[in-house]
């Protein structure tokens, strides 16, 4: 469910006409719905009601300061993977003391920054990393709170590039070595064992892999509680969202029309399946969802440059490109594309929707059926709130897109479109070339 819908012929985010946003701030521009984020947050919380849950929003999905502040106001802490993300949470006034720090290659400087800001726990991914955290904590004269990321060797049945819980992925310590890793951790003078963590992948669309992984780790969690007095079990993030019927899935009627056997994963079904497995542990449960909270809360607005009719192929050339939204080029992912102004008298068009970047990979969709749109008209890429702007680059010297946050009938620019001067601000021509 989300708050993007047509009011008459015009696509709105909540009560805001998206064409008005494009007119004011230009394109390409990301637009996020604050109410959708809040609804997603509350649904996830309610889905797990009865458990002692702390939501640690995976900031990597969308780390715009306004999004972080909004989630922080709702009660979220954060799942962080870099010093940069930690500093963003500080800048947004978020709660680092309830946040966790993950990632396979935390630097000494990042560990120090996290300790100085009293991070809730580090999610440790290897034994050398444990030694490093112990060392940095020692230099600061503190004990570092840690949990081990355990790799349950479960197939998340998602895209290979976002699968993380198989034994051939770089993440975590294999389940069979986990007990020994905790023994090793207990011997370090500057480490304090706090919990256990897992994360098996992203954009999971069925509950079975979550269930399998929790079932695999639950005995270990119980054991660690008895031996080391751990207080929490983080079950990671990974809940998938609707990409194919993105617009329709904003309406309750769409969900009701889905046959029970193929109904997509919801916070309610996720909670119902996992609660009975988690409740007996008597541990605090951390959740690290990113995409579920913000993915369907964002769109990318773009303008049509040309409709190029080729030999047996049409190309809709738009002013957004793979540098703005890399997911289709990187993961072959599907983003629904809709016109900002719907006109049923228009013919249908089948076209490849492409950006202006000089490589064939700069393609958002192949042979996509759309309402015919022409030069200057506006379109939206749906479900672009997660892993959109955060993965943007300046390839082809294209400035980073603007970002706007909507709430009700209010909207504000939350990230100015990058200027050329800013883009080159750090670059220098060395003296020997002058």
Binding site for ligand LLP (CB under 6 A): 58, 61, 79, 102, 162, 164, 199, 202-203, 236-239, 288-292, 327, 331, 386-387
Q: Are 326 and 390 in contact (CB under 8 A)?
A: no
The nearer residue to ligand LLP, 233 or 411, going by C-beta atoms, is 233
Q: Which residue is nearest to ligand LLP (CB)?
A: 237
> Cβ 82 to ligand LLP, closest distance in Å?
12
237 vs 355 by CB, closer to ligand LLP: 237
DSSP states along 262-279: GPPP-HHHHHHHHHHHHG
Q: What are phi and psi of 286, to 5 degrees?
A: -100, 140
Residue 341 pairs in a beta bridge with 10
Tokens of 82: 């870099």
Residue number with CB closer to ligand LLP (240 or 339)? 240
Read off φ and ψ for residue 423, nearest 5 degrees. -60, -40
How far is residue 426's CA from residue 423's CA, in Å, rounded to a whole number? 8
Q: How far apart are CA 148 and CA 233, in angstroms?
A: 10
Residue whose CB is less far from ligand LLP, 393 or 419: 393
Residues catalogued as catalytic: 358
CB of 303 to ligand LLP, least distance (A): 24
Nearest-approach distance from CB 245 to ligand LLP, in angstroms: 18
Q: How many helices (H) and strands (E) does the chain have?
A: 13, 21
- Cα–Cα distance for residue pair 400/158, rounded to 1 Å: 29
Which lies closer to ligand LLP via its Cβ, residue 79 or residue 336? 79
Q: How far is the CB of 199 from ligand LLP (least distance, A)?
A: 4
Nearby residues of 82 by Cβ (< 8 Å), 6 or more positions away? 103, 110
Q: How far is the CB of 44 from ligand LLP (least distance, A)?
A: 10
CB 356 within 8 A of CB 315: no
Q: How far apart are CA 393 and CA 399, in angstroms?
A: 8
């Amino acid at each position: 469910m989300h708050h993007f819908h047509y009011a008459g012929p015009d696509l709105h985010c909540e009560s805001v006409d998206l064409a008005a946003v494009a007119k004011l701030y230009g394109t390409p521009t990301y637009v996020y719905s604050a109410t959708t984020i809040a609804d997603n947050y509350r649904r996830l919380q309610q889905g797990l009601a009865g458990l002692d849950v702390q939501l640690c929003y995976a900031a990597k999905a969308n780390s715009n300061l306004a999004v972080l502040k909004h989630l922080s106001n709702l009660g979220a802490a954060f799942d962080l993977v870099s010093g940069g993300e930690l500093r963003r949470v500080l800048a947004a006034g978020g709660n680092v003391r309830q946040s966790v720090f993950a990632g396979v290659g935390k630097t000494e400087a990042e560990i120090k920054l996290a300790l100085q800001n009293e991070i809730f726990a580090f999610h440790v991914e290897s034994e050398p990393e444990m030694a490093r955290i112990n060392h940095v904590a020692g230099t600061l004269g503190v004990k570092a709170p840690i949990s081990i990321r355990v790799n349950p060797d479960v197939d998340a049945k998602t895209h290979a590039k976002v699968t993380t819980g198989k034994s051939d992925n770089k993440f975590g310590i294999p389940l069979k070595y986990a007990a020994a890793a905790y023994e090793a951790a207990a011997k370090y003078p500057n480490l304090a064992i706090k919990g256990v963590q897992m994360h098996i992948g992203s954009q999971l669309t069925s509950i079975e892999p979550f269930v399998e992984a929790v079932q695999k780790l639950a005995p270990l969690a119980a054991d660690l509680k008895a031996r080391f007095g751990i207080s929490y079990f983080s079950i990671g993030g990974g809940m998938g969202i609707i990409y194919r019927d993105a617009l329709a899935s904003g309406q309750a009627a769409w969900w009701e029309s889905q046959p029970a056997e193929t109904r997509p994963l919801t916070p309610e079904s996720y909670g119902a399946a996992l609660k009975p497995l988690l409740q007996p542990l008597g541990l605090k449960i951390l959740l690290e969802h990113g995409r579920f909270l913000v993915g369907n809360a964002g769109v990318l607005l773009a303008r049509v440059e040309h409709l190029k009719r080729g030999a047996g192929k049409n190309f809709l050339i738009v002013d957004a490109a793979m540098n703005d939204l890399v997911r289709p080029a990187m993961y072959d992912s599907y983003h629904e594309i809709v016109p900002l102004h719907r006109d049923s008298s228009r013919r249908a068009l089948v076209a490849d929707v492409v950006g202006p970047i000089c490589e064939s990979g700069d393609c958002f969709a192949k042979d996509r059926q759309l309402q015919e749109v022409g030069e200057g008209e506006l379109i939206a890429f749906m479900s672009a709130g997660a892993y959109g702007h955060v993965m943007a680059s300046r390839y082809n010297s294209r400035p980073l897109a603007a970002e706007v946050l909507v709430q009700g009938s209010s909207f504000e620019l939350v990230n100015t479109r990058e200027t050329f001067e800013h883009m080159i601000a750090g670059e220098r021509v060395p003296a020997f070339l002058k």
